[in-house]
Amino acid sequence: MNRNLQLLWNGFLPENPIFRLALSLCPAVAVTTSVKNGLLLGIAVVFVQVFSSCTVAIFRSFIHPRIRIPAYVLIIATWVSVIDMILPVVSPEAYKQVALFVKLIVVFAIIISRLELFASKEPFVPSFYDGLGMGIGFTFGLVITGAIRELFGAGKLYGFDVLGFEPLLIMILPTGGFFVIGFIMATFNYLEFKITGKIPKSGGAH
């Protein structure tokens, strides 16, 4: 397989930011009350991740190692400010639901950890694919959690009424988010156990 494609796939499943690396869990629980919110935040994260990965990959030789963290934070904050100005224009209704979290993308651990672990060492093109893969994996995690919670909590999928009743209200309460993520993580552990025969160690959760 082509290396770039492999980087894409890597972010999608083997190193899925939410379920495998257990990074950036706050938005995974908070905005996933519906598929739409998850998708919108996911797109914002893809944008920020790709652009800051590329920026860091281009300027990596100019950034002194000792001040790299503040420099990364500032780069991320700049791109977050950009997307924070674009989104309300594109879809004002949906933006209201995730407004706080779009600003909080600055502190999502997944982005800074990709900059630190990948983009600061690799050239432009692989960094781009790595950022894209991680962003898509993150979006996938948000959407799947959102789908489960929306289906069981509100009986809907992407705003359309599927079941016609509300089976488990608890799923759209804060509690439901924690439960669903816990179950999905356990499912991933189970699948990996079936395929490789060993239980993986849980991610660091930071």
Question: Which residues of the shown chain bind other proteins in the complex (CB under 8 A)?
Answer: 22-26, 29-30, 69-70, 73-74, 77-78, 80-81, 84-85, 100, 103-104, 106-109, 112, 170, 173-179, 181-183, 185-187, 189-190, 193, 199, 201-206
Q: Cβ closer to other proteins: 164 or 201?
A: 201
Position 76, amino acid: I
Position 86, amino acid: I
Q: Which residue has the tokens 């998850």?
A: 38
The answer to whether residues 192 and 14 touch, using CB atoms and an 8 Å cutoff, is no
Q: Cβ closer to other proteins: 8 or 83?
A: 83
Spatial neighbors of 119 by CB under 8 A, at least 6 apart, are 52, 53, 54, 56, 57, 60, 127, 130, 131
Spatial distance between the Cα atoms of 171 and 117, rounded to a whole number of angstroms: 35
Spatial distance between the Cα atoms of 82 and 191, rounded to a whole number of angstroms: 39
Q: Cβ closer to other proteins: 9 or 188?
A: 188
The CB-of-35 to other proteins minimum distance in angstroms stands at: 18
Q: Cβ closer to other proteins: 73 or 94?
A: 73
138 by Cβ neighbours in 10 Å (0-12 / 13-18 / 19+) ranks as buried
The CB-of-60 to other proteins minimum distance in angstroms stands at: 20
The CB-of-87 to other proteins minimum distance in angstroms stands at: 13
Q: Cβ closer to other proteins: 5 or 67?
A: 67
